[in-house]
């Protein structure tokens, strides 16, 4: 997982909780207190999963709640860090269609082909009339985060669309299939 994701998690904790909370999360996730995460470097997926699980535990919230709070911070951070992605897209559909390309941009900076394809292959978007069908496959099983982020993007563009999941890796499906449907 690219360090950007960790960085946003720690920024979120810094702005919402006492410093001891982040330290406790690191302790439970077995991540050294002084370990720094750099936005363009790739870190172990397993370590990220431990950090996210420890966050849910320590904050005593559900995974869904954690994904919602994280998505809110993620979009705010993204708007400041990469405003061009937001100005380029005139609609939520345009933004969500481009999302896999944005992710693959992070992959191209990776020299290691295995790490590169681990980022590259997570998302595929199928375009239909009034609908996007997102195929998502990842050991991190963050389809809930996808749905929260998609809703944040829809809010940002003041659009109304239904976000549903037709099948999910957590229920044993080979991939998650998320439908974003505009009425």
- Residue ranges in contact with ligand HEM by CB under 6 A: 1-2, 4-5, 78, 82, 85, 96, 99, 102-103, 106, 119, 122, 138, 140, 142, 145-146, 149-150, 153
> What is the three-class DSSP state of 85?
helix
Closest to ligand HEM by CB, 18 vs 127, is: 127
Query: Which residue number places its CB atom closest to ligand HEM?
Result: 138
Closer CB to ligand HEM, 24 or 97, in the complex: 97
Cα→Cα distances 96→20, 89, 116, 123, Å:
36, 9, 21, 11
For residue 95, give the nearest of 163, 154, 39 by alpha carbon.
Answer: 154
Looking at beta carbons only, is 25 or 145 nearer to ligand HEM? 145
Could you tell me how far CA 3 lies from the centroid of its own chain? 12
Tokens of 18: 């006492």
Q: Which is nearer to ligand HEM, 103 or 181 (CB)?
A: 103
* Cβ at position 183, least distance to ligand HEM in Å: 19
Task: Tell me how far apart the alpha carbons of residues 183 and 175 are, in angstroms, rounded to a whole number.
Answer: 25
């Amino acid at each position: 997982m690219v360090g950007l994701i960790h960085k946003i998690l720690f920024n979120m904790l810094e702005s919402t909780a006492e410093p001891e909370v982040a330290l406790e999360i690191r302790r439970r996730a077995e991540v050294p207190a002084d370990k720094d995460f750099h936005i363009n470097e790739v870190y172990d997926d397993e370590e990220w999963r431990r950090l996210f699980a420890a966050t849910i535990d320590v904050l005593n919230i559900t995974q869904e709640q954690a994904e919602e709070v994280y998505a809110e911070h993620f979009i705010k951070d993204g708007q400041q860090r990469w405003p061009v992605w937001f100005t380029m897209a005139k609609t939520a559909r345009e933004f969500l269609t481009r999302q896999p390309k944005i992710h693959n941009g992070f992959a191209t900076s990776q020299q290691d082909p295995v790490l590169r394809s681990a980022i590259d292959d997570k998302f595929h978007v199928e375009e239909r009339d009034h609908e996007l069908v997102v195929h998502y496959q990842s050991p991190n099983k963050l389809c809930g985060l996808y749905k929260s982020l998609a809703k944040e993007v829809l809010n940002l563009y003041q659009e109304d669309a239904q976000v549903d999941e037709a099948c999910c890796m957590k229920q044993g499906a080979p991939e998650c299939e998320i439908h974003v449907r505009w009425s």
